[in-house]
Amino acid sequence: MYAIFETGGKQYTAKVGDQLYIEKVEVEAGSMIAFNKVLALGEEGKLDVGAPYLDGASVVAKILKTGKGKKITVMTYRAKKNSKRKQGHRQPYTKVEITEIQAQAKQTKKTAAKKKEAPAQAEAAEE
């Protein structure tokens, strides 16, 4: 089973046991986090797609560490003006390990009402 979820404005595909580098999350290392913005869940030959998210589905992950990526150099200059600027940037990240993909569907009001009516109808049939 795999899931496509959204966090930090980006989308990730994950299976149980995968280690991902996601946008920085303000959570301590060693704790668990649940991503509720699940866009799709897939198994062999079956794909459930949300509109835009699936209700009741979540991806549970363990925070392994938080850090900064490799430094990139940004250069800006203006031609014929003797003006230039050199700047560096290190993007913060959080490394997570996917521990569980939950695909529970929450009951909507309509399905909950139908389930309450079903036992009442069964009792009436017995009498």
**What pLDDT, on a 0 to 100 scale, did the predictor assign at position 53?**
94
> Domain range holding 35?
2-126
pLDDT level of residue 26 (50, 70, 90 thresholds) = very high
Q: How many domains does the chain have?
A: 1
Cα-based distances in Å from 17 to 20, 26, 69, 86, 96: 10, 22, 22, 40, 10
**What pLDDT, on a 0 to 100 scale, did the predictor assign at position 108?**
46
**What pLDDT, on a 0 to 100 scale, did the predictor assign at position 116?**
56
102-124 mean pLDDT: 56
DSSP state of 79: T
User: Global pTM?
Assistant: 0.72
**What pLDDT, on a 0 to 100 scale, did the predictor assign at position 34?**
95
